[in-house]
Amino acid sequence: MFKIAIFASGRGSNFAAIVNQIKSGQIKAQISLLISDKEDAPVLNRPEAEGIESLFIDPASFNNQTAYENYLIKLLQKAEIDLIVLAGYMRILSPVFVSQFKNKIINIHPALLPAFKGLHAQQQAVDYGVKYSGCTVHFVDQGMDTGPIILQAVVEVKADDSAADLAARILVEEHRIYPAAVKFLTENRIKITGRKVKIIKEEENLG
């Protein structure tokens, strides 16, 4: 069985969207671990987390980031994790950690990368005055929001949008394309060539 670890720091709505797709049979996988760096993260108390090993691992209890990440690496290796899904995980992973799981870590960003990287992407889009924004599922590499792009969804930015208005509409698309990207990966339908990601059609994969 394809094994997934979810890293989350907040509400966990993308986590819930993926769990629902697994429960419905759309994604053939299991979430083996739910890991948060925040003790009070709502994701740890979501109903969807029932039956999933859910762990609060406090980075402050380690001497440094290296020790914290070494602990995570051993935990993930022991659980034989196939894919790490960052779902609102608000810590930057080091190049050492990323290299341990090359092309096995994905993230979703609330903008059409490479535009509006980093924090407050929705506010950045509103302030810049773009007509369209959206969200991007991408592999995590050693930069910030720079990994190869798997899927994107476009959302119109309305003239009177606040950042919260835009964020709410983007979130709807996140809940659609993030589970889709996970599904493609569990079905081995993703091919990476340099920065380009090809999604293989089901009939090609069978052939």
14 annotated ligand-binding residue = yes
Contact 20, 46 (CB under 8 A): no
107 annotated ligand-binding residue = yes
- Measuring CA to CA, which residue among 33, 61, 56, 32 is closest to residue 44? 56
Tell me the Cα Rg of the chain: 17
175 is catalytic: no
63 annotated ligand-binding residue = no
Q: Of residues 109, 120, 138, 175, which has the active-site annotation?
A: 109
Note the Cα 197 to chain centre separation in Å: 16
Contact 179, 26 (CB under 8 A): yes
Contact 9, 91 (CB under 8 A): yes
91 annotated ligand-binding residue = yes
194 annotated ligand-binding residue = no
The three-state secondary structure class of 126 is helix
User: CA-to-CA distance for 178 and 14, rounded, in angstroms?
Assistant: 7
The three-state secondary structure class of 43 is helix
9 annotated ligand-binding residue = no
> In Å, how far are 30, 125, 129, 157 from 163, measured between CA atoms?
34, 8, 11, 10
- What is the set of active-site residues? 109
Q: Would you list which residues are annotated within the binding site for (6R)-10-formyltetrahydrofolate?
A: 90-93, 107
Q: Would you list which residues are annotated within the binding site?
A: 12-14, 90-93, 107
